[in-house]
Structure 1
Amino acid sequence: MSFRYVTAASALFAVFLAGCNGGTPLPDPRLNGRDAEFMALAPKAGVSSQYERYLVDYKTNEPVGSIIVDNRSKFLYYTMPGGKAVRYGVATGQDAMAFTGRAYVGGLQEWPRWIPPKDMLERWPHLQPTADAGGLPGGPDNPLGSRALYLYQNGKDTLYRIHGTNEPDKIGQAVSSGCIRMRDIDAIDLYNRVKIGTKVVVL
């Protein structure tokens, strides 16, 4: 089999996969120096092609520039003009802990510090030393990953986040304590698109 044939077949297969996923694959965002350093050290895991980043057709009554999270399908949509959206694969909260409803982005952080919340400490007391030390500094091993979008309602922090993850193999599953996890590269991409006040709807 010639190299030319293999290359053509590979390109055709990529187009086929994109068609199956109903969208156009999007390039990775540009990384700054710290991003490149930390991303090189962050845990790696492949995800199903359906959970990669695509530009897709998406109809909604929410305004352009909104975030819509579908807990059931494990997709997050960032709405774009012309009936389009950027679709990302996510991991969501376990059924009893999943956040639903309307919120807005009240804070944005790059490589945020992670402090275990009170309910998590009650379930996993072994994390208490981390809380006592003021949390875990941002970095490739931090559970919040590369970026965090802090969800607010009525001026108050809900304590729920949309954030990166140091467990990319969990994308597509209901595994978190309620937050919405993304691949680190996808969290960076979304972070670059949003602003304080961005509407968030979690279905």
Structure 2
Amino acid sequence: MQQSAVPELAHTHTSPIQWVATATAIAGVVALSSVLQPDPARAAQPGPGAKPAAAAVAPDPTAVDFPITCGPAKVLVQKKAAGDLDGDGHPETVAVVRCDAGSGTPPNGVYVLTRAEGATKPRVVATLVDPKDRLSVTDFALRDGAVTATLLGYSSSDVPSCCPDVKDRAKWQWKDGAFVRSTPSEARNV
């Protein structure tokens, strides 16, 4: 009789009961692992008696008196975005507003709002676009600490308000204590 190099093993033939037992064991391990989780990571804890820092809330533009004259019409906040523009850890809000005239194309104003520590009402700290300049704002965004917008305007006072004929891109960033305007670089196709 010739012996084989690998003897037949009795346990290599599985039965349905073995599959059921294996599936039950795996389900138990999965269920147990979902219950037993490690403790969450913790940041450095404040010392005894320290008050937790409150999350900074961006100023609400509906609570601001904007420097825009609308007569009997109300001020309309068309767009808003919040972010930390000056790097102080507190968010500012940038608001695009105009008079709610009902018809026509009233010019926009773009304002930066902040809330002084302890103050209940936010205030305007910078005017990026003055409504007196007769500009409309489109493609407004706040990214990476910079405000960008497309400005639609007029080449002369003879151009009707309905039909702006000048398009300009603008970018504002906080530098050396003021918002500095520049022209954003355009994306180029490769």
Calculate the TM-score normalised by the size of structure 2.
0.28
What's the TM-score, normalizing by structure 1?
0.27
* Higher relative contact order (CA closer than 8 Å, sequence separation 6+): 1
Where is the helix percentage greater, Structure 1 or Structure 2? Answer: 1
